[in-house]
Amino acid sequence: MGDECTAVHKLHVIFGPVVRTGPNDVDIADGAALSAIYVEKGGFKKAGFYANFDIDGHKSIFSQVEPAERAPRAKAVLSMFSTSSLRAGVHTIYQCVDRMVRRMKEEAKTGKPVNVLNLTRSLATDAVTAYLFEDSYGGLEETSGEMSASGMVNAFVAVGRFFYLPNWMFRWLEWSNEKFFADHEVNASMMKVDSFIATMVDRSLKDEKLKGNYAARLMKNGFSAGEARAQCKDLMFAGTDSTGMNLATICFMLAKEPEKYARLRKEILERKPDETELQTLPYLRGVVREGLRLSMANPSRLPRIVPPKGYTFNGIFLPAGTIVSCTPFELHMNPDVFENPNDFRPERWENPTSEMTRDSIWFGLGTRQCIARNLANVELFCAVQRLVEEDVLKGAQCCQERIEILQWFNSKVKGEKVELLWP
């Protein structure tokens, strides 16, 4: 239904921070539980539902629940996400950002509503593919309609709707959906993405220039070309929807609050940051954090399994095998931690409380937190910097009161549009 978070929130209001949401499921709306569930001793294992995000018969770094199976795959690519690698590759991100800024400026001149979500998603796809695969997908070059990879991304987002089904039921649903309700546009998008990835992976085996890319690193560590293709497809999905949604939310909020946009512009123009200082600008950092907090790319439960010895929280014992979770929605919208939580207030991050820092789980937490969080941050900071330097959002008006989402595992923006208008 897409109302999981608000429904669970209502239960928390009635029953308090620990709520049994199903026969074997417990949700905890208290940041004090985060460390034990997600961090200490590697955190509890991911729940079996994650298998519903397997790709083309392969487990991805995201869907693999067994730490020992995930470790060699993650190890093969981890250094690509380090701050030093990203600093060395930041020009690639700026090239993509500059293309997006040009597109937004051109579309703004038409006087028609501009779907910034399409542009930010295109940026996210190009940044992930250009930086990690050394082969840009070219989403920003596609000037008519939605970016061609969107159908694939939307289909994967829709998987989150059925996240909690047992894997056998999920597989049956997926099979029958493909058989009886095949969607031509989604199929065309899948085929285009598959063909892009297959060509890139194939070239990674032969082309010296690509020998350090994500696919080549996996294959050099003994993983098959088939698996490399699946892992790359997973990144294109994970990296497009999330960063795209966050950046579109930031554009929307800055257009809605011109005085905050003016303050941000003043800071960026006065400080003229290079890439080493960019993430230290206090107001810019507040803008990005508020975007991440409010946009809810992953709003719902991050489910884990209670280990054999059980788990006690605030005197409540959860037996082994219980599926326990905290949710970004519940923690990011907690008025005791974030005053007036629905407000976009970058200034709240000037002096964050320890609870604010603890409860900000937009990238998840612990060993299974987002592997690409540094890359996502670089994309967001560079994109906001350039949009502001070029004054692109000046005079932009929001075409909707707020951004409404369906609260699936990966949230879906209703109508798949975040529109701005430059009258």
Quick check: 376 binds ligand HEM (CB under 6 A)?
A: yes
Quick check: 239 binds ligand HEM (CB under 6 A)?
A: yes
Quick check: 8 binds ligand HEM (CB under 6 A)?
A: no
SS3 track for the chain: CCCHHHHHHHHHHHHCCEEEEECCEEEECCHHHHHHHHHHHHCCEECHHHHHHCECCECCCCCCCCHHHHHHHHHHHHHHHCHHHHHHCHHHHHHHHHHHHHHHHHHHHCCCCEEHHHHHHHHHHHHHHHHHHCCCCCHHHCCCCCCCCHHHHHHHHHHHHHCCCCHHHHHHHHHHHHHHCCCHHHHHHHHHHHHHHHHHHHHHHHCHHHCCCHHHHHHHCCCCHHHHHHHHHHHHHHHHHHHHHHHHHHHHHHHHCHHHHHHHHHHHHHHCCCCCCHHHCHHHHHHHHHHHHHHCCCCCCCCEECCCCCEEECCEEECCCCEEECCHHHHHCCCCCCCCCCCCCHHHHCCCCHHHHHHCCCCCCHHHCCCCHHHHHHHHHHHHHHHHHCCCCCCCEECCCCCCEECCCCCEEHHHCCEEECC
Contact map string, positions 257 to 286, toward ligand HEM, x by CB under 6 A:
------------------------------
Give the residue, chosen from 65, 67, 364, 390, that forms a contact with ligand HEM under the rule CB under 6 A.
364
Query: What are the residues facing 311 on neighbouring strands?
Result: 318
Stretch that binds ligand HEM, among 138-146, 176-184, 233-241, 351-359 (CB under 6 A): 233-241
- Rule CB under 6 A: which of 63-102 touch ligand HEM? 70
Q: How far is the CB of 131 from ligand HEM (least distance, A)?
A: 8
Quick check: 47 binds ligand HEM (CB under 6 A)?
A: no
Quick check: 305 binds ligand HEM (CB under 6 A)?
A: no
Q: How far is the CB of 248 from ligand HEM (least distance, A)?
A: 11
Quick check: 302 binds ligand HEM (CB under 6 A)?
A: yes
Q: How far is the CB of 411 from ligand HEM (least distance, A)?
A: 10
Quick check: 62 binds ligand HEM (CB under 6 A)?
A: yes
Measured from the CB atom, is 19 or 365 closer to ligand HEM? 365
Q: How far is the CB of 238 from ligand HEM (least distance, A)?
A: 4
Could you give the CA distance from residue 255 to residue 396 in angstroms, rounded to a whole number?
A: 5
Give the residue, chosen from 116, 159, 375, 405, that forms a contact with ligand HEM under the rule CB under 6 A.
375
Binding residues for ligand HEM, rule CB under 6 A, total 23
Give the residue, chosen from 128, 157, 268, 294, that forms a contact with ligand HEM under the rule CB under 6 A.
128
Measured from the CB atom, is 60 or 422 closer to ligand HEM? 60
Quick check: 298 binds ligand HEM (CB under 6 A)?
A: yes
Stretch that binds ligand HEM, among 143-151, 174-182, 272-280, 297-305 (CB under 6 A): 297-305
Residue among 36, 27, 26, 24 nearest 326 (CA): 27
Stretch that binds ligand HEM, among 165-173, 185-193, 360-368, 391-399 (CB under 6 A): 360-368
Measured from the CB atom, is 242 or 322 closer to ligand HEM? 242
Q: Which residues contact ligand HEM by CB under 6 A?
A: 61-62, 70, 128, 235, 238-239, 242-243, 246, 297-298, 302, 362-364, 368-372, 375-376
